[in-house]
Structure 1
Amino acid sequence: MSDALIVRRDVSFLLFDWLDLGKHHDRATIDSVLDLSEKLAEQAFLPHYKGADVHEPQLKDGQVSIYPPIGGALREYANLGLFAAGFPEDIGGLALPSAACWASYAYFAAANIAIAGYAMLTVANARLIATFGSPNQIEQFAQPEIEGRWFGTMCLSEPQAGSSLADVRTRAEPDGSDDLGARYRLTGNKMWISGGDQDASENIVHLVLAKVPGADGSLPAGTEGLSLFIVPKTLPDGSRNDISVAGLNHKMGFRGTANCLLNFGEKDGAIGWLVGEPGRGLRQMFQMMNEARIGVGVGAAALAYRSYRLSVAYAGERLQGREIGTRTGDPIAIIRHPDVKRMLLSQKVYAEGALALCLLCASLVDNEADAEARELLALLTPVAKTWSSEYGLAANDLAIQIHGGYGYTRDFDVEQLWRDNRLNPIHEGTTGIQAIDLLGRKVLNDDGAGLASLEARIARTVGRTVGTDREVYAQQLVRLSGQIATCIEALRQHHAPLANATTFLSAFGHVVVALLWLEQANAASALEGEDAFAAGKRRACRFFYEYEVPRVDAWLAIVRSGTDVAGNAPLETFI
């Protein structure tokens, strides 16, 4: 079954042969964690993949109950110390590098993303508190999460304010202070809260964005007025906080992850403690949001990867048709048909390319003290989230196609994998929002440091191809990098430069992944001996450059043109 999750050699290749993680970290320790992760994912997460989809969360008498095996799987996850893996040793962690932690997580996401999501959010929640919280807040709230006894959420969106956080209306009224800091009472509603309530953990730690009213009682305008609060389901004295579940959202995928509408303060106000200073909530929350964006990308890559491995297995077993030009003889496995090979190669470059992109970002997290790494991480984070979720979903779509009629039945996992992955282009900010973040904040309104870091990496990678058969791809990459730069300069002259931001993101993301495929081909060529694995990486690189890279020119032409055919379309167009 391991091939249906993630092939171990792929993970080792990315971490050690490509990212060279063993240079500064103990490989034996990382290998041990990956061994445990792969085994636990197969034994405790994968068997409940269908069950968690069928047995959705239930709300009864104000309490949400989830599929019981989910709690058992997460307890085993905690017992292995995996909640703690990426935290410093002085707060109970294993101090593993981020890339190793996300590689571990990928196994669980591939096996059962609805279960894995609880862990991903809890870890990001605890890391935010560990970064910005007081020592008492860390001990009281983050420590039980690091131990895996309590779970965590992020509460941003509201029914009237999805991604538009400036429109948040949740109020936080001062209520004195204690040893956990400044205390407030919160009233308001939060929507789309993954893990918002469940019966698998001892407590739930909500991180809530809210506004402190001014002297006249009015809420401050904009995002500058947002503050961040720790609001637990159960208070330190053991009493129940004033938080209620108003309803459950029934999703097409991730059905095992309880997704809730929460009401804070139906009675006297939900008690919460301010994190850091007032008005800095969104800046603090960006740490968790950025970690979650990488997590969404890893999850999307993992779902794509599993569907790819299932497609390879199915195509190797399914007998149908004969070689082109042959009318007699036994049917052949469909993996021998050229168009099936094309679809499998597309899946391979999407799934493995997405995983590489996310693990690169994870490796940059550990090197944020280096200016180039920090700027490159900021530039690539929206790309990692979006390219992985969009093209991971494309890989899932191809898996259904390869399985034919069986692919859209519930008897085969590829149907559920597609439904699960369809959520990821929306999770943590839609594709369009990520595109505006990339083009507006990271490119046009930046000092160019992020692009300079990317160009420096491209130059180093291109330099390693001189005199090899990969030089032709390097030349294409250099040309496309120049096209991106030209396009950006043209956009600076446009009156509406963000109108085609999503198309720009498509082009930019493909250029980044083209770079990573060239880097993987370089790493594969450096391996001793040319075995099937290395040859497969080199073939995938060639496929990406011959099938995918040509799309970049068309996308960039649209962006450069400044077309307003969509942006200025009159509303009557849609009648």
Structure 2
Amino acid sequence: MSVPLIPRRELNFQLHDWLDVGALLQAPRFAAHSAETFDAVMDGCDRLAWEVFAPCYQNADREEPHFDGDRVTVHPQVAEAVRAFAGSGLVSATEDESVGGMQLPVVVEKAALVNLYAANIGACAYPLLTMGNSRLLLAHGTPAQVEAFALPQLRGEWTGTMCLSEPQAGSSLSDITTRATYERESSFGPQYRLDGRKMWISGGEHEILGNIVHLVLAKVPDADGKLLPGTRGISLFIVPRSLVDTHGNAGERNDVTLAGLNHKLGYRATVNCALNFGEGRFKPEGRAGAIGYLVGKPGEGLAGMFHMMNDARIGVGLGAVALGYAGYLHALEYARNRPQGRLPGPAGKDPSQPQQPLVAHADVRRMLLAQKSYAEGGLGLVLYCAKLVDEARIARETGNAAAAASCDLLLDILTPIAKSWPSQWCLHGNDLAIQVHGGYGYTRDYKVEQLWRDNRLNPIHEGTHGIQGIDLLGRKVSMFDGAAFSAYGALLDASIARAVDTPWAALTDALSIRLASLRAVTASLLQVADPVARLANASAYLEAFGHVTVAWIWLDQVLALGDRDDDFAQGKRQAARYFMQWELPRVDAWLDRLADNDDTALAMRDDWF
């Protein structure tokens, strides 16, 4: 089958016509770049996607990573793809030139990576985790830690992971029990011995590149040797698979061992495993216990790890968009080329008349429009957040603290949406892509079933849908006396005001009404004293907030089209109209129940099930 890539005209519209990334070139950080260098990076990613990542998409799904009792082996084409990514310079693309980066804007990086995600999301997981790992170390590590552990990852020589969850703890990090005991000072900072087990570690064990740098959350015991309850004492450690000498050479194996592979519904190109730290199979420096180096201060591990997780959450949203967009393009191609049935009416009953292509049927066009509205709306949401990252960095580097704080506020409140909304609705788009294919979509002859399976992970990892809802309603909308929520409302108000005297005025009124309802419901929920009752329907709040946000994305994009009247512009307007007419009204049902603070789920008892 062909490998449709997300059209460059769509990416160019969002980057240049809507987000005006050219304005970023005025900042000293990006002054060496131009529209031509942006295109060159995107061209390179498209070639890598088409030539290296896409060809092994289905092969790697059918031949999962396996453990032979000695080592974990991944599909050779996946290893080749990861090495090609590592050698491309993309791992360090957004980083400073001083550490080997090209100082590319994050928003351009995300636009460039989207087709790699679409081509083979599982193979992309290795370098993407590596990028997040190295960025955390650049922000929180000591110079020695950066030199020894971040730079080899940025050069594409090693990979990295994040190790948070544990079998008994799941998403509840306060219940982790991995213990870190202080041993001595080292050239890489305070050295500890770690003992415990971590679960769901993507990229946790393989032989693709030279070393694996694990970033591990563990608890430092108190003076009596006891682990503190809750999140107190949680600290962050660098735990390399192989220890590193003062010259940066990997040598003796650390006490990190594979406990088992997880066999997943999708993302099968990615090794996912449980790891034991301190099992004793290996005895670094003569005794059992995994050697780890403290990052930052004891007890401040969550702050460091969330630096990586927030970056990863935008990446999860982008991955969901890529898979949803790929499914849409496959469904569109199939609908245009598959003849089936005839249109209603007398001629439709005449078997001598030619069959019509699927796309001629209104219900199929409905499903395609829905997919387009989810994929392009979700893409806009993620790219907008990525541009906020760039603008915040520019503001900090130029000493504009107020502008940086403003960007950070919007990014804080939009990150749960950027992660969760595409994960929910682009997955629904993949479901519709299967439906367009009919029975064929349910077979492995077509890629849409695998795209759905891969995308099904995204509502779970990096914080489940429910966790993101609790974060949004329980913290983000009320923090700093509601400053982030006020900034969000002002952002939408500005676009609504610009649309007043346009052909979109009527549909804009619909958005304005829902925004007013969201404000009223938010104020009402924040008055509920009992946090359990207040957050019982947080997922519905997340859904409503997300749909209002994506409606704003669509409004802002159609305003950016201006008087453009080609097929591309007309298609964008029709997708926007579909979202406003058919999707935005879903918000009413969610907000109505939230306004009542409905307790149906909360009042249900275990015994009644």
Calculate the TM-score normalised by the size of structure 2.
0.92
Is contact 1:373-1:453 (8 Å) kept?
Answer: no
Q: How far apart, CA to CA, are the structure 1 residues paired with 2:567 and 2:54?
A: 28
Q: How far apart, CA to CA, are the structure 2 residues paired with 1:455 and 1:425?
A: 26
Matches within 5 A, 1:359-398: 359-368=383-392, 369=395, 370=403, 371-398=405-432
Q: How far apart, CA to CA, are the structure 2 residues paired with 1:324 and 1:269?
A: 72
- Between stretches 213-222 and 542-551, larger displacement belongs to 213-222
* Counterpart residue type for residue 65 of structure 2: P
From 495, 500, 509, the equivalent of 2:546 is 509
Q: How far apart, CA to CA, are the structure 2 residues paired with 1:450 and 1:227?
A: 28
1:534 aligns with 2:569: yes
Tell me the equivalent position of 2:61: 53
* Counterpart residue type for residue 350 of structure 1: Y
Tell me the equivalent position of 1:33: 41
Distance 1:3 1:60, change over 3 A: closer
Q: How far apart, CA to CA, are the structure 1 residues paired with 2:36 and 2:329?
A: 27
Map Cα deviations across residues 514-547 of structure 1 (whole Å, 9 max, x no partner). Answer: 0000011111225xx4111111111111110000
Return the offset for 1:573: 2.0
- Between stretches 370-379 and 109-118, larger displacement belongs to 370-379
* Counterpart residue type for residue 364 of structure 2: V
Tell me the equivalent position of 2:21: 21
Is contact 1:357-1:516 (8 Å) kept?
Answer: yes
* Counterpart residue type for residue 560 of structure 1: A
Is contact 2:3-2:54 (8 Å) kept?
Answer: no
From 442, 447, 452, the equivalent of 1:413 is 447
Tell me the equivalent position of 1:559: 594
Is contact 2:86-2:127 (8 Å) kept?
Answer: no
1:286 aligns with 2:286: no
Tell me the equivalent position of 2:466: 432
Tell me the equivalent position of 1:449: 483
1:239 aligns with 2:259: no
Distance 1:58 1:34, change over 3 A: same
Return the offset for 1:173: 0.7
Tell me the equivalent position of 1:522: 559
SS at match of 2:244: coil
1:499 aligns with 2:507: no
* Counterpart residue type for residue 254 of structure 1: Y
Return the offset for 1:445: 4.6
Q: How far apart, CA to CA, are the structure 2 residues paired with 1:212 and 1:318?
A: 61
SS at match of 1:174: strand
Tell me the equivalent position of 1:98: 106
Tell me the equivalent position of 1:257: 270
Q: How far apart, CA to CA, are the structure 2 residues paired with 1:295 and 1:573?
A: 40
Return the offset for 1:248: 0.3
Tell me the equivalent position of 2:437: 403
Return the offset for 1:572: 2.1
The total of aligned residue pairs comes to 572
Tell me the equivalent position of 1:12: 12
Return the offset for 1:3: 6.9
1:345 aligns with 2:369: yes
Is contact 1:62-1:245 (8 Å) kept?
Answer: no
* Counterpart residue type for residue 534 of structure 2: P
SS at match of 1:388: helix
Return the offset for 1:2: 8.1
- Between stretches 332-341 and 15-24, larger displacement belongs to 15-24
* Counterpart residue type for residue 297 of structure 1: G
Is contact 1:186-1:271 (8 Å) kept?
Answer: yes
Is contact 1:361-1:380 (8 Å) kept?
Answer: yes
Tell me the equivalent position of 1:110: 118
Return the offset for 1:444: 3.5
Map Cα deviations across residues 485-537 of structure 1 (whole Å, 9 max, x no partner). Answer: 110121123341111110111111000000000011111225xx411111111
Map Cα deviations across residues 198-256 of structure 1 (whole Å, 9 max, x no partner). Answer: 11111000000001111111012221311000000011140000000010000010001
Is contact 2:202-2:272 (8 Å) kept?
Answer: yes
Return the offset for 1:446: 4.4
Return the offset for 1:278: 0.8
SS at match of 2:103: coil
Structure 1 segments of 4 or more deviating over 3 A? none
- Between stretches 21-30 and 235-244, larger displacement belongs to 21-30
Distance 1:2 1:531, change over 3 A: farther
Is contact 1:4-1:307 (8 Å) kept?
Answer: no
Is contact 1:44-1:73 (8 Å) kept?
Answer: yes
Map Cα deviations across residues 150-208 of structure 1 (whole Å, 9 max, x no partner). Answer: 00000000000111000110011111112111111100000000001111111000000
SS at match of 1:562: coil
Is contact 1:231-1:273 (8 Å) kept?
Answer: yes
Tell me the equivalent position of 1:355: 379
Q: How far apart, CA to CA, are the structure 2 residues paired with 1:436 and 1:446?
A: 17
Is contact 1:105-1:116 (8 Å) kept?
Answer: no
Is contact 1:3-1:309 (8 Å) kept?
Answer: no
Tell me the equivalent position of 1:64: 72
Calculate the TM-score normalised by the size of structure 1.
0.98
SS at match of 2:268: coil
Q: How far apart, CA to CA, are the structure 2 residues paired with 1:72 and 1:570?
A: 52
Question: Which residues of structure 2 form unaligned runs of 5+?
Answer: 26-33, 246-250, 281-287, 396-402
1:176 aligns with 2:184: yes
Q: How far apart, CA to CA, are the structure 2 residues paired with 1:473 and 1:212?
A: 55
Q: How far apart, CA to CA, are the structure 1 residues paired with 2:77 and 2:86?
A: 14
Tell me the equivalent position of 2:220: 212
- C-alpha RMSD over aligned residues: 1.2
Is contact 1:345-1:540 (8 Å) kept?
Answer: yes
- Between stretches 324-333 and 132-141, larger displacement belongs to 324-333
Q: How far apart, CA to CA, are the structure 2 residues paired with 1:431 and 1:107?
A: 25
From 473, 481, 499, the equivalent of 1:465 is 499
SS at match of 2:461: coil
Tell me the equivalent position of 2:234: 226
From 544, 568, 572, the equivalent of 2:607 is 572
Q: How far apart, CA to CA, are the structure 2 residues paired with 1:160 and 1:34?
A: 42
SS at match of 2:436: helix
1:474 aligns with 2:508: yes
Return the offset for 1:473: 2.1
1:550 aligns with 2:585: yes
SS at match of 1:28: helix
Return the offset for 1:303: 0.2
* Counterpart residue type for residue 312 of structure 1: L
Map Cα deviations across residues 240-296 of structure 1 (whole Å, 9 max, x no partner). Answer: 000000100000100010001000001210011000111110011111000111111
* Counterpart residue type for residue 10 of structure 1: E
Is contact 2:216-2:238 (8 Å) kept?
Answer: yes
* Counterpart residue type for residue 525 of structure 1: G
Q: Percent identity?
A: 51
